[in-house]
Structure 1
């Protein structure tokens, strides 16, 4: 029986109970040691430097604290197991420091800080690194797509609406369309990085402290661009988490749609993309099969990225606006896993799209099928013959229905057919020359005359491509600046931690 006596026999009657250890505290400790040990040491160093500079602790105290932190930093936390003697990693490291420099001096480090602001600072430090991983993989894939677009400026193909062939376009026009959504994703992640890259340190428990600390200094030493100014917001605000989850879900949802097209294009029926051998698997029984397994395995990774990010909203809704464990170690790894699957997907797709072959001939053939240039025939009746578009649309629609009914194709449209149907609709015949009809039905001409901003005409696509390449170059430079900024702050922290002993 699961009785009080039975539970107390297993768990004991003092903190922490065995069940609490196994189900909560030990898994949380594993997350802490895997992700937060190094950030915790950096935060502690920055705090010690600031306390010294503000004359809250002496140089001797600061030096001993920093020396002890350096020794702890050299310990491999990977082998550490949860010890019920300490509630969590914070208290375990604090105990290590006490053993090294004495309890009184170690305790000086905890002036004007709390686990609350330390934890959130750790979360922000780790998450900004994860965001930079995404940005790097995202920019690489964008570069791959822009190279593919450049190679296919004149690769005419059908554009699809409602999954049906609609009008001629080019593969470059299609690729650029998806790349542009990735460019907006980049902008979202830049905004996200700027949201995350603010320091909560100094908020302490939630209302700051009576000590004369310098919040800006710890932010500077840890590479933050500024502060979460309101201390209550610094502890309670978790929209940096939901913003991250949103950006990941938006990007991966678009990516999943692009992957749907890609897998369709790899089918024998479409026969548009041919994957290189490193990215296909042969059936165990059917020797002719070339299964696009690299893409099939990537598709669920994208789905998992979306699912893990969505967990953030599921966990956070209806929680109090204050310090609450729901935002902490059990939530954060969902974002890390979402990032992991996202980066995997981008890396896989970057390799696949760099090496795939495009069947340009089949795309060109299909651009001549299905009457997809009929819009231009209707447009000619408007531009050259002065008809309203509704009349031209009706005439062209009847022409297409007539051809379909009689098993004919667009090339079978004749001046006489146009004259007969226009006579039926308008009461007068419209005369078009054979050359005019052929030009209207030519998919290359269809594409070439669509020079309106954003259209598929090669001259316009080349302009867009050139602009996108310039934008990507600027985006990559911004990523480089983020990386260099964090590296510079690490050097600044180490230099500041080299405190001269008092005379």
Structure 2
């Protein structure tokens, strides 16, 4: 027996071949069964309503179709196994409908529609719900951050540049900086949602149909904000997938940077964040250990979320602009996985940050170390003594080197040391008082006088907080409106179905 004959005997000579069915169609069916069964039934009901309202099918036909669809909807489809006889979920459900209402009538349901616009509509319906869930959990975490920022407006700490202590700031200033990056992430999610929640239904295969359908009515019944107007674009356009994928990659990259900082702050050496018991694991051998494992697990999750989202680009790159399987059931779960990992990260951080303790004393002590307030000493020499900043910077740098070389600290700076160094470098003494030096080197003063827009001074941070809280209320309302809109569309569809059934 040659290889061809062997394969034909193994796979059969009719569609679908055993290998094709087992390797491709069955896994795809399992994805359809998990995610798209309910959306498929909703789309089918809306299609029947629209066909009746457009006088394309009769009232009795509509009623029987809707009754059949209601019965199928009540079935436990999760127990349905793949049957190669029906190829995919679409034909499986169609067969069930045929058994209930007859083959001819069941076939009328497919007037003016295709698996092309059906599939893409299902994808968009599932994605929009997951995107609303993403918005909700991101907002939960942002709310915790706002609360922490409010609590720590006067918690002075070092700000870091190039991983080194740079200048004093406040924990609130730092948290608000991260909050603002998450707020931009929320705006990106909103834009992605607006482009996901557009209806492709009515595009049919790719050129619409010769039947007088009403795409706008279908869009409203299914809770979409508008249409993907151009039918070719409705089928071929995949940028709504890439937009969400890129948003997920940016969000998780932002989160990964925060994860890195947070884990550093949890170390014994930093001793800044203290996680409460529900979020630490004990060592199996070392009794003293409090491992921040809840946060550690989020680091690979962020990487997994980014990787799954990147798969969208890898799978769509260099594909034709048209109806292709590359955008379908083998791609969609990568987005779902990315969202799932992201949700898990956000939930963990929400719980951890809502309950953790902050070591304010250590932060303040750190802000007094390492000469990180000497920028203000240089500024004081400019303001009070009329030096150019370059000259002041040179003198201040020499003071730091002098102290370091002599094993002295910032507290050891005296008017005499400054006069000695300024005389050596500039040929004249500065005559600054000890009180002015102490004020310039005080990290609390350093923070308080930085009242410029966006600075760490408590009153400026308070202004930013009020602004963020006002914007946050709008974001919460947007998320709420999205969910209400979807719920109202479901009621609208149910009312339209009931109206037909009651005729």
Aligned to 2:389: 389
| Match of residue 474 from structure 2 | 474
Q: Distance in 1 between matches of 2:265 and 2:41?
A: 50
Measured against aligned partners, the alpha-carbon deviations of 1:71-95 in whole angstroms (never above 9, x if no partner) come to 0001111111110011100011011
Q: SS in structure 2 opposite 1:461?
A: helix
Which residue of the partner structure matches residue 268 of structure 1?
268
Post-superposition offset of 1:299? 1.3
Tell me if 1:155 matches 2:130.
Answer: no
Alignment of 1:22-421 (within 5 A): 22-421=22-421
| Alpha carbons 2:414, 2:434 under 8 Å: kept | yes
**Superposed, which structure 2 residues align to 1:458-473 within 5 Å?**
458-473=458-473
Note the C-alpha offset of 1:130.
0.7
Aligned residues of 1:315 and 1:331 also touching (Cα < 8 A): yes
| Count of matched residue pairs | 503
SS in 1 for 2:142: helix
Deviation, structure 1 residue 471? 1.3
Residue 477 of structure 1 deviates from its aligned partner by: 1.0
Query: What are the Cα deviations for residues 325-361 of structure 1, in whole angstroms up to 9, with x where unaligned?
Result: 0000000000000000000000011000111110101
Distance 1:90 1:4 in 2: 32
- Contact kept, 8 Å, 2:265 with 2:273, in 1: the verdict is yes
2:445 corresponds in structure 1 to: 445
Partners in 2 of 1:262 and 1:362 — Cα distance?
15
Contact 1:120–1:200 (Cα < 8 Å) also in 2: yes
Query: Secondary structure at 1:467's aligned position in 2?
Result: helix
Q: Could you tell me whether the CA contact under 8 Å between 1:62 and 1:499 is conserved in 2?
A: no
The 8 Å contact of residues 274 and 356 in structure 1, kept in 2 or not, is answered as yes
Q: Deviations over 1:404-455 (max 9, x none)?
A: 1111111111111111111122221111000000000000000000011110
Residues 127-146 of structure 1 deviation map (CA, whole Å, 9 limit, x = unaligned): 00010111000000000111
Q: Secondary structure at the match of 2:169?
A: strand
Q: Distance in 1 between matches of 2:413 and 2:423?
A: 16
- Conservation of the 8 A alpha-carbon contact between 2:36 and 2:122: yes
Q: Report the Cα distance in structure 2 between the residues aligned to 1:409 and 1:494, rounded to whole angstroms.
A: 75
Deviation at 1:314, TM superposition (A): 0.4
SS at match of 2:159: strand
Instruction: Give, in angstroms, the shift of residue 499 of structure 1.
Output: 3.6
Q: Does the CA contact (< 8 Å) of 2:66 and 2:501 recur in 1?
A: no
* SS at 2:498 equivalent: coil
Deviation at 1:2, TM superposition (A): 9.1
Q: For residues 379 and 9 of structure 1, what CA distance do their matches in structure 2 show? A: 86
Q: Secondary structure at the match of 2:467?
A: helix
The DSSP-based 3-state class of the residue aligned with 1:269 is: coil
Q: Distance in 1 between matches of 2:77 and 2:196?
A: 26
Deviation at 1:281, TM superposition (A): 0.7
Instruction: State whether structure 2 residue 489 is matched by structure 1 residue 489.
Output: yes
Q: Secondary structure at the match of 1:497?
A: helix
- 1:170 and 1:32 map into 2 onto residues whose CA distance is 50
Asked if the contact 1:301/1:345 (under 8 Å) is kept, the reply is yes
CA distance in 2, matches of 1:417, 1:468: 45
Partners in 1 of 2:70 and 2:57 — Cα distance?
Answer: 18
Gaps of 5+ in 2: none
Q: Helix, strand or coil for the counterpart of 1:310?
A: helix
Query: Take 2:152 and 2:387, find their aligned partners in 1: how far apart are those partners?
Result: 36
* Structure 1 counterpart of 2:435: 435
- Compute the displacement of 1:8 (Å): 2.0
CA distance in structure 2 between the partners assigned to 1:91 and 1:259 by the alignment: 47
Deviation at 1:501, TM superposition (A): 6.7
Take 1:299 and 1:235, find their aligned partners in 2: how far apart are those partners? 37
Work out the CA distance in 2 between the residues paired with 1:78 and 1:135. Answer: 28
> Does the 8 Å contact 2:41/2:73 carry over to 1?
yes
| C-alpha displacement of 1:4 | 2.2
Q: Work out the CA distance in 1 between the residues paired with 2:501 and 2:479.
A: 39
State how far apart, in whole Å, the 1-side matches of 2:500 and 2:125 are. 28
TM superposition shift of 1:397: 0.5
Deviates more, 1:180-189 or 1:440-449: 180-189
Q: Is the 8 A contact 1:63 1:499 kept in 2?
A: no
1 CA distance for matches of 2:138 and 2:7? 51
Q: Which runs of 4+ in 1 moved over 6 A?
A: none
